[in-house]
A and B are shown apart, each in its own frame.
Chain A
């Protein structure tokens, strides 16, 4: 194929695939603006005849998605910040300090990654109930305040900091706290951003554990609220559910678009190192 033919081929493929991938999202957004009547029309309309902005308002206030949104923000920010702290601390120790049993602890943390989440479902429920945290936001923050992926990722990144540098700083009398704030954190900022993003998206979208650990409507996070609304038999709420779905996607989309570089780099670096 000549260069021009190849270029035309590339763009045809691109337009085709972009359309294919965006159809679900288009259907979501257009559905969220349809009136209930129009949403159930057969055959369906491709463009909403009249934009029904009221769907958003109803979902937000009357259906209580504002509360779910607030819960999701609290849970996501807390778990993300806590993971950045626990991950950096543990990553630093497991990478740069020789402590007895350090290797074993690291091996155990990494091996948790291959355990199917279904194994943890029941015992987490049990533990949370026994700790008296069932049906509180703490139940879906505390168990996820550290995770092996983040710890391992940070450890890998801190491994790249030369030991000599750390040793020299130690000889200069830098305390552990100073070491972390003056050396480790500044040198691992890109890794921290990546970890923050991955944790943010993961926690914002979490469903299974909140399903098991929460019961009251007012404690529901967004995915839980969406699923419960959809499972309730009221078919007339679909346009509202779609509006709520759009609202739930917007924050991750903004975060992703704003930090795409780090996100993509993090995933690709992880792939090559992994």
Chain B
């Protein structure tokens, strides 16, 4: 008995030692920061407080819910949520639909399909910064490709990134171009998991392509669709780099997204407390949306 316990203890100890490198990094740079942010969101942490505290001191003076109240009274914060929503409403449905259609297309067998898949996927491995720079030159008002093409059919050049209504759609378009290949692969994995016999049975019943799509493909892809929706939502809520490079939040704050505002609040205005509060509101918002999304899709799955 005793020897057994000793042996188990030694085994657990060696287990912890092997786990240690990953654990240290996760605790120091993930777990601790998440708690830190939470605590700071209830404090006023000025630059001087940050400077004077040590690594394990949470800087600032406790002020209760003040930061949250301030954030909720901040018009720009609401605008950033609306802007993020505007982006999401274009980005999520369009990416979802086009990645599904592309997946169905590349799920066929014909010559060149692998080449095609590669081309569609390539933008995903290009950095957001590089893609943003490329789209800035494409949508350049004077010498850009898009306006030059429009000019050919007699449409006068548009100041895409200088227009409050159009800047965000350009960012959304770039995001779709960059990401659709990735989601195409996820859907393709889902499609390849559907057994051929389902379609053969439907063929025998005389179902046409649309009926097959509606009553076999879509329901059987609902699980992967939930995964994709969550990933798309995460993408939509983390739009920052493209705004930083392409518009700097302008024109007229029309492209200020929540992460961009958090960055500005923290690193331009050095208001760490309210920035932390914003990041936690974003966190809660994301969490609620994911849960609601899951609920809706699960319910649909059950009734059908």
Contact = CB atoms under 8 A, between A and B. Distances in A.
Contact of A238 (B26, B125, B137): B137
Central interface residue in A105, A148, A212, by most chain B CB within 10 Å: A105
Contact of B55 (A41, A127, A274): A127
Interface stretch (A18-26, A56-64, A158-166): A18-26
Kindly list the 4 A-B residue pairs having the minimum CB-CB distance in the complex, ordered from nearest. Answer: A123-B33, A205-B127, A90-B22, A268-B189
Contacts of A257: 118
A119 B275 CA distance: 9
Contact of A21 (B59, B119, B130, B186): B119
B116 A27 contact: no
B152 to A, nearest CB: 8
A105 B19 contact: yes
Interface in A111-157: 112, 114-127, 129-131, 142-146, 148, 151
Contacts of B119: 18, 21-22
Nearest to B54: A130
B209 to A, nearest CB: 10
Interface in A59-117: 85-87, 89-90, 92-94, 97-100, 102, 105, 108-109, 112, 114-117
Interface of A: 7, 10-11, 13-14, 17-18, 21-25, 27-28, 31, 39-44, 85-87, 89-90, 92-94, 97-100, 102, 105, 108-109, 112, 114-127, 129-131, 142-146, 148, 151, 176, 180, 201, 204-205, 207-208, 211-212, 222-223, 226-227, 230-231, 238, 241-242, 245, 248-249, 252-253, 256-257, 260, 264, 267-269, 271-272, 274
B190 interface: yes
Contact of B241 (A14, A114, A129, A207): A207
Dominant secondary structure at the A interface: helix
A205 B126 CA distance: 7
11 contacts: A27-B137, A31-B137, A43-B151, A90-B23, A92-B18, A180-B18, A207-B128, A226-B129, A249-B126, A257-B118, A271-B190
B55 A130 contact: yes
A13 B244 CA distance: 35
Contact of A267 (B126, B133, B182, B258): B182
B292 interface: no
Contacts of B110: 7, 10
Given A93-B18, A127-B28, 19 more contacts: A17-B120, A21-B122, A21-B177, A24-B135, A90-B21, A99-B15, A122-B276, A127-B55, A205-B125, A207-B129, A212-B267, A226-B129, A230-B245, A231-B248, A248-B130, A252-B125, A256-B122, A271-B185, A271-B227
Contact of B26 (A109, A245, A253): A109
Contact of B30 (A23, A94, A120, A238): A120
B150 to A, nearest CB: 11
Interface in B91-122: 102, 105, 108, 110, 112, 116-122
Interface string B22-58: 1101101111111011001000000000100111000
Interface string B222-244: 00100100000010011011001
Contacts of A25: 122-123, 134
A262 to B, nearest CB: 13
B193 A226 contact: no
Given A120-B33, A253-B122, A223 B19 contact: no
Interface of B: 11-12, 14-16, 18-19, 21-23, 25-26, 28-34, 36-37, 40, 50, 53-55, 59, 102, 105, 108, 110, 112, 116-123, 125-131, 133-138, 142-145, 148, 151, 177, 182, 185-186, 188-190, 192-193, 224, 227, 234, 237-238, 240-241, 244-245, 248, 258-259, 262-263, 266-267, 272, 275-276, 278-280, 282-283, 286-287, 290
